[in-house]
Structures are given as C-alpha cells and as structure tokens.
Amino acid sequence: MSSMRVDGLVSRFDRWLAQYLLPIISILVALCFQITLIVTMLRIPEYSAYSLCLTGDCFGTLGDLIGAQVEVIKAGGALVSFIVVVAGVYLAMRTYIATSQVGMLGNAIAHITFYERFVSSEILRRGRLSPRHVDVFGVYTLMFPSGNDSQRYASDAFSRAIDSVYDVVRESSRRYQSRENIFKFDDHRRRLIDSLQSVYITLEPIPRIDFLEVEDEVLEFLSMLSRVFARPGSSIEAPVRAYR
C-alpha cells in the first residue's frame, strides 16, 4: 500500500512538473525584468545628474549606476538556475529509474519464459502427464511468490506443498503395509487428487491402473522440480510406494 501511495505521489509530481515548470521559470524571468524596470524608474532622478559620456572613466562608473539592477538580475538568474538544476537532477533520476524498471521487466519476462519453456518441455516428454494437468504459471507463483527474477531457488512454501503430496503417499504405503491392510485405493486417489491441488496439478479419478501410471509421472515431475529449483540439500525425493 505504501509503495502504491509513493508511486501515486511521484506520478502527480511528474504531471505538476511537466505542467508548471516552464510557466514558473517564465514568471520568474518576467518578475526580474519588472523589478529591474521599477528600480530603474525609481533611480531616474539620479541619472538626470549625468550627461552622455563615452570615455573610459565614464564606463568605470557604470557599475555604480546600474548595480542594483545587476543584483536583481543575478538573484533572479541564480533562482532560475537552481530550479532548473533541481528539476534536471530529478528528471535524470526518473529517467534512470524508468530505464532500470524496463530492464527489470525484461529480466522478469526472460526468467518466466525460460521457466515456462523448461517446465513445458518436461511435461511433454512424459507420456501420461499432459499440459492440461498442470497450471504452469500457478506453479511459478508458488515457487517464486515475490516475482523477483533474481530469485534462484524455489520458495519454502513450494517444498512444503510437495512434501504434503508425499505425505499422502507415505500414509497410503503405511496403510497398505499395516496388518489390517486398511489401504483403499479410492480413498488414496481422492486424497492424492486433493493434495495435488496445492501444487496446481489437477488429476481426474480415472481407473486404478491408468491413475497409477499418471501418478508415476506426477511424482517424478515433482521430484524433478525439487531437484532443479530447491535450495541445495533441500530437494525432496518421492517416497517408495508400497501399494504400487
């Protein structure tokens, strides 16, 4: 919210600067001219005591005659120069920021494009897993929630989401190996489908053999993402499935 407020203030200041900078400078120049003219008119009685003179000595006293006007012009020029310098520095900073933002946008697009091509190719090289099963950009937002193109490793939330999928597999294996053999495939399929939604993967409740084949590729796909994008030493491999 604070960032949006600052951006709004900067945008309003940009519009104000574009609309009023030149008129302000024009007003200051006109004001300096008017003050100089007024000072000159007030000093006309003093000038009447002098006659036209073009000698070097006369030019030496010219500074005393128009010294006040010169000071007014110098003050006005200094003020205008200060405003122009400040505006120039601000505009230079805005240009630099805009250029940096364009560069950041380009880097972000390149980052997303590389990710999308890589993940899509990994999906397509698997026979049972298809692009309609995976929300590629949903997975991206889970992996890189800040949208920072310099972020090399996937977020901890992504690793936790994968581990929650693996928890379903571990629990199903535990049930399958229990003495009571309380494993029920329909229940396993439902729980796995529900857990995969956290990693933006959608599966359908297809028959057992077909589902297990798709499950093979989904777990392999998640393990691949973990190996490639997780922090070193924190990748998670799919657990052994006793029910398979």
The 10s digit of each residue's pLDDT in 125-174 is 888 888 889 999 899 999 888 765 556 788 889 999 999 999 999 999 99
Q: Are residues 95 and 145 in the same domain?
A: no
Please check whether residue 69 lies inside any domain of the structure. Answer: yes
Q: Looking at the domain assignment, is residue 163 inside a domain? A: yes
Mean pLDDT over each residue of the chain, to the nearest integer: 80
Number of structural domains, the chain? 2
Q: What is the mean pLDDT of residues 105-125?
A: 81
Res 54: pLDDT: 59
pLDDT confidence bin for 197, thresholds 50/70/90? very high
> What is the arithmetic mean of pLDDT over 76-80?
82
Please determine, for residue 9, whether its predicted confidence score (pLDDT) is greater than 80: no
Same domain, 103 and 165: no
Residues 44 and 15 in one domain: yes
Q: What is the pLDDT of residue 53?
A: 64
Do 132 and 104 sit in the same domain of this protein?
no
How far apart (Å, rounded) are the C-alpha atoms in residues 31 and 15? 25
The mean per-residue pLDDT over the stretch 104-127 comes to 81
Share of the chain above pLDDT 90, in %: 26
Asked if 22 and 103 sit in the same domain, the reply is: yes
228, pLDDT greater than 90: no
pLDDT at 238: 87
Question: What does the pLDDT read at residue 33?
Answer: 81
- Residue 176 domain-assigned? yes
Q: Which domain holds residue 225?
A: 127-229
Confidence of residue 187 (pLDDT cuts 50, 70, 90): very high
**Residue 90 has what pLDDT?**
77
Question: What pLDDT score was predicted for residue 5?
Answer: 59
Q: Is the pLDDT of residue 209 over 60?
A: yes
pLDDT at residue number 244: 81
Same domain (yes/no): 83, 155: no
Task: Establish if 235 belongs to a structural domain.
Answer: no
> Which of residues 87 and 6 earns the better pLDDT score?
87
Structural domain ending residue among the three candidates 112, 140, 165: 112
- Convert the pLDDT of each residue in 37-62 to its tens digit: 777 776 666 666 556 665 656 655 65
- Considering the domain boundaries, does residue 195 fall inside one? yes
Q: Is residue 234 part of a domain?
A: no
